[in-house]
Structure 1
Amino acid sequence: MCQTQYRFKKDPCSCANNNEVDVEHISIKWEVCFQLRMLIGSATLRCKMLTQTDKIQLDVRDLAIRSVSINGKDCDYRIAPSVYTFFGSKMKIYIPNELQKEGLTLNVTINYSTSPDATALQWMKKDQTVDKKAPYLFSQCQAIHARSIVPCMDTPSVKTTYEAEVTVPAGLTCLMSAISEGSKGDEEKTTFFYKQPVAIPSYLIAIVAGLLEKRDISPRCAVWAEPSVVDKAHWEFSETEDILATAEEIAGEYIWGRYDMVCLPNSFPFGGMENPCLIAHSWSGNLVTNSSWESFWLNEGFTTFIERKICGRLVSESYRQFMSFNGWTNSLIPAVYEQFAPTHQFTKLIQDHTNVDPDVAFSCVPYEKGSALLFYLEQLLGGPEIFEEYLRNYIKTFAHKAIDSNTWKKHLYEYFHDKKEILDGVNWQGWFYAVGMPPNKPVYDETMVKDCENLLQKWLEAGENEVDKMTVDEYKNMQPLQQIEFLSQLRQHETPIEHYKLDAINKLYQLNESENCEILLQWIRLCIKAKWDPIIEKALKFVETQGRMKYARPVYR
């Protein structure tokens, strides 16, 4: 089984001819124009000819192209819109006859500007920021939105280094997903210089511009935020260096140089992932990358698995087990049975994205189903210590590469060559391609789950004269994820919780004052289900200040 040869499948979400041309480096020059909501400038792509061809095919979306040149000479190009608008357009650049040779390096310069509606960019007026003193810009290129800010081979199967010169109004700071090389400017404008020496997929190109201040956490870690909240952010992320060091013990050396974070305004609609998860991406996703979004689980399943290992080291193995159980119960099951349906194609681990927008297919399935597969394999193949050795070998083997699921499976068989019979017993067809829940459930230690259930029962059984006798200790001694699970179980109880109990719970646990968004979300949803009027003001304030769909959507529903 492990010797089977697989044909590499082209990314269906990109028109790139990366089998003929390799984009090795991108040099970006942008001016950030807040009034126009545009990035204006150029991108120079250093392309290596892998074979003789007459074209370079790039992904673009709503870009206003002014000119294209190869090695300094203007050349012809054509832009053809895709039948599916979410794919943008195919930009075909025609290579002069004398340059259509294998092995040549071409410098392709494209002068262009982005659209005010570029899907990768969020432009915020100063009133939408925390301090309300200056406008703000940030990008979100995953999954296929980099094409709306730079002409590129917008597929994770292509990795490239990049450098950037970005000019912003004086007084503002520009940050990018690269190493800073300083800045220069005058009274009107400041230009920032960045260089990313490690090849990355296009979706990791990122920009932030706004009124920002920095606080160092350690020699290699720092946090940026608006001035009024930067000290709070510094306190919130003070353990980052410890988390990063723990991640290195599990996954190997951190090769990116610096680990800087940006706390975005509350209106950010997508992601601020929890810190261990974000750190874990430095190995799974950023270093070893899925070659297409059809195998997204190679990014997110591994990241979730490593994240929980980090938390297990920092807290306890029981906590890792609880996190994994919680992911299966409170994320994967609802995704399969509520967000989709058990027969839906997007509940597969490996999906077919032919003519599919990856954003539409997005869910927790790749995260939780992928992590469950790795947890299941860890138990089959000898336990955490043995599997962590494999994990480090996997990352070392495929560092700086993009792979698909079959390549991963082949390496798994090669590494555990002495356990072929065990691996042959895995229902690979069911794990990879079957819809619905996985064919096997890992065995989880449910000790911490029972603590939540015990507290739940106490509240369910407490009468009106007994709630005042409840103490804060059990709840206070729980990990935050346990507190979230307890509130989630209360919310999922068949009949709404009585108002006198909600009064007592809020008084005892001070939930209305919680600054943990996950806890507050569960509390608000619990109270809305019970039609507890005192939550209305808190719920309205919550959705007004939380732009993330993860938090706002469940409250509205």
Structure 2
Amino acid sequence: MKFYGDPSSCANAVDLTVRHIHLDWNVSFEKKLIEGTAFLDLEVLNNTEHINLDSRDLEIVSASLGDASLKHNIENNGALGQKLVVNFGKTLEKGSKVKLAIEYTTGKNGASALQFIDRECTADKLKPYLYSQCQAIHARSIVPCMDTPSVKQTYSANVKVPKGLTCLMSGLADGSSTEEGDLALFKFHQPIEIPSYLLAIVVGALEKRDISERCAIWAEPSWVEKARWEFEDTEKMLQAAEELMGKYEWTRYDLVVLPPSFPFGGMENPCLTFVTPTIIAGDRSLCNVIAHEIAHSYTGNLVTNANWEHFWLNEGFTVFVERKILGRLYGEEARQFDCLCGWEDRMLPCIKETFSPVHEYTKLIPRLVGVDPDDAFSTIPYEKGSAFLLYLEQLVGSNQRFEEFLRAYILKYRRQSIITDDWISFLKEYFTDKKKELDEVNYDGWLRTPGVPPNKPTYDDHLVEECKNLAKKWGTAEVEELNGLKSEDLLKMTSDQQVKVLDCIETGYTLSHERVALMEQKYKFSSSGNSEIRFSFLLIALKAKWVPIIEKALEFVTEVGRLKFVKPIYRKLFDWAESKDKALGTFEKNKQFMHPITVIVVKSLLK
């Protein structure tokens, strides 16, 4: 596999590559760390006397090749952690293969990839919990590795955890666990080569429910039945993905529902997707998150961006495929609606408000030299990338042909890491009959220029217009007319349309207290089981400074830990004199139960 270079990694991947990693791990909840040994199977690509590995706060005990102990040193690498240099003491010749063993512990002050959660912060408050989040460059905090998506390797693991807990990883389980005294041993292997950021582990009091022969749900006991019902259509989504993108290669597609404090929506770890409990709405209305993570099984996990400057190859493609899956399940109208909402509600505000139209991070291919990729994270690679693919699909003039191209693209580059130029070359090679049209595409404007894209795809906007019209009524009509509205006019809409109505109200109008009270009376949004609807209404009511909403908002940020919700709600509560003291009190009381990342983010709002 070609190495394109990666500004986020110090690995000398032009000299060596990692073919396989075996992990012998012991998970200590008492010390809140992992200790053990990583065995790296290396292939020498060019004569070399050393290897550079990415590291972050690891405490290296020893390094060895067979019986030979090796010298190593650690160098500061700024925002990217540390460089671990292991000297072989001799020249390893091109073509040779060796096994490097590194004994280590994760940082005593914490590993950026690991979140040890006290039992009080879990759903059932029965047992402590551990989960990892290695994307983008946090795998280096739990294993010394070539922490670049350009390098893919298989892995295996033997993991010891306290007896009574279940361990899961982003691989296939090798039989059931065995007990060794107070510990339980779990074994895993991942036979498909993956980049380091897809290494994942979960340890907790977990129960399993099967959905199909290859799909299951894992969750804490109080969540597992609700989750099984909520995600019952996972197998249907997987089959729709296979019709669209080809055979699913990862054998199993399991889901694990993480504790309420989990600050993210989902993570596409192979064989084991991580999801937030906030998508368990009770009516399967938020399962588009699952379609997104299933799409990642192809775009991202099989065909991977070679470095984080080309992140749009992972996320733009995945959003595009996710919406294709939803279109097959729920109709083209639903797909078009979501595409247009992506352009209007997620991409444009990010360009114009979160950043600015000239900001580097609004490019599809931003420069990330010396930058932690997490700092550049936004909706741009997702929505601008997806819009570019929709524009090209319309340029080609056939949805079916573009879907055939996607399948061919996956087949050509499966199990590889690529950059945007590889994709462009294949695009032009595939559509030889569209040479004139594709040669005229403003690739530089789409990919390397900040701001709004040079072209806007054509969208079917009639569902969006229905939402805008209803939002306008709530913003401008007489209260008497609003009193006469039937609640079913809105409730018959899909949950995504309801969110769109609420978002249009929040961005376009400041409602009177009377209107907010009437809206709550008609629709009872503040107690909705759909977290997206509940969140959007809370923003409207807080913007209106409607006092009865304060307690409802505080309940919400106490129940959920997802940053997407917690940060905007706390910001509005802190900015309003009437609610600031109560919000501060709630935060201080509950921060011990919150995720450390969430605590840092909320504290930053007070500066």
TM-score when normalising by structure 2: 0.88
- Structure 1 residue 161 corresponds to structure 2 residue 154: yes
From 224, 232, 237, the equivalent of 1:230 is 224
Residue identity opposite 1:233 in structure 2: A
Matches within 5 A, 1:198-213: 198-213=192-207
For 1:380, the equivalent position in structure 2 comes to 395
- Structure 1 residue 10 corresponds to structure 2 residue 5: yes
For 1:533, the equivalent position in structure 2 comes to 547
Cα distance in 1 for residues equivalent to 2:508 and 2:447: 33
**Deviation sequence 1:410-443 (CA, Å, 0-9, x none):** 1111111221110111001101111101000000
Matches within 5 A, 1:143-542: 143-182=136-175, 183-186=177-180, 188-272=182-266, 274-494=289-509, 496-542=510-556
Structure 1 counterpart SS, 2:248: coil
Contact 2:149 2:197 in 1 (8 A): yes
Contact 2:3 2:14 in 1 (8 A): no
For 1:119, the equivalent position in structure 2 comes to 112
For 1:4, the equivalent position in structure 2 comes to none
For 1:78, the equivalent position in structure 2 comes to 73
Cα distance in 1 for residues equivalent to 2:197 and 2:548: 43
7-16 or 457-466: bigger deviation: 457-466
Structure 1 counterpart SS, 2:43: strand
376-385 or 7-16: bigger deviation: 7-16
Cα distance in 2 for residues equivalent to 1:473 and 1:81: 60
Cα distance in 2 for residues equivalent to 1:113 and 1:238: 39
Instruction: Give how far 1:551 is off.
Output: 1.0
Contact 2:472 2:505 in 1 (8 A): no
Cα distance in 1 for residues equivalent to 2:351 and 2:476: 32
Residue identity opposite 2:162 in structure 1: P
Instruction: Give how far 1:235 is off.
Output: 1.1
From 94, 104, 129, the equivalent of 2:96 is 104
**Deviation sequence 1:62-119 (CA, Å, 0-9, x none):** 001001001332111121111x1x211111111232x611111110000000013210
Structure 2 counterpart SS, 1:254: coil
For 2:286, the equivalent position in structure 1 comes to none
Cα distance in 2 for residues equivalent to 1:544 and 1:35: 26
CA RMSD of aligned residues (A): 1.3
Contact 2:42 2:98 in 1 (8 A): yes
**Structure 1: which 5+ residue stretches go unaligned?**
1-6
505-514 or 154-163: bigger deviation: 505-514
Instruction: Give how far 1:295 is off.
Output: 0.4
Residue identity opposite 1:130 in structure 2: A
Cα distance in 2 for residues equivalent to 1:433 and 1:396: 27
**Structure 2: which 5+ residue stretches go unaligned?**
267-274, 276-288, 572-607
- Structure 1 residue 29 corresponds to structure 2 residue 24: yes
**Deviation sequence 1:170-216 (CA, Å, 0-9, x none):** 11001100001121014511011000000000000000101111111
Cα distance in 1 for residues equivalent to 2:438 and 2:126: 58
Residue identity opposite 1:75 in structure 2: L
Instruction: Give how far 1:463 is off.
Output: 2.8
Structure 1 counterpart SS, 2:155: strand
From 547, 553, 559, the equivalent of 1:545 is 559
Cα distance in 1 for residues equivalent to 2:8 and 2:67: 30
For 1:59, the equivalent position in structure 2 comes to 54
Q: Percent identity?
A: 48
Structure 2 counterpart SS, 1:294: helix
For 1:556, the equivalent position in structure 2 comes to 570
From 50, 58, 64, the equivalent of 1:69 is 64
Instruction: Give how far 1:387 is off.
Output: 0.3
Structure 2 counterpart SS, 1:134: coil
Contact 2:4 2:150 in 1 (8 A): no
User: Cα distance 1:154–1:8, how it changes in 2: closer, same or farther (>3 A)?
Assistant: closer
Instruction: Give how far 1:279 is off.
Output: 0.7
Cα distance in 2 for residues equivalent to 1:285 and 1:207: 19
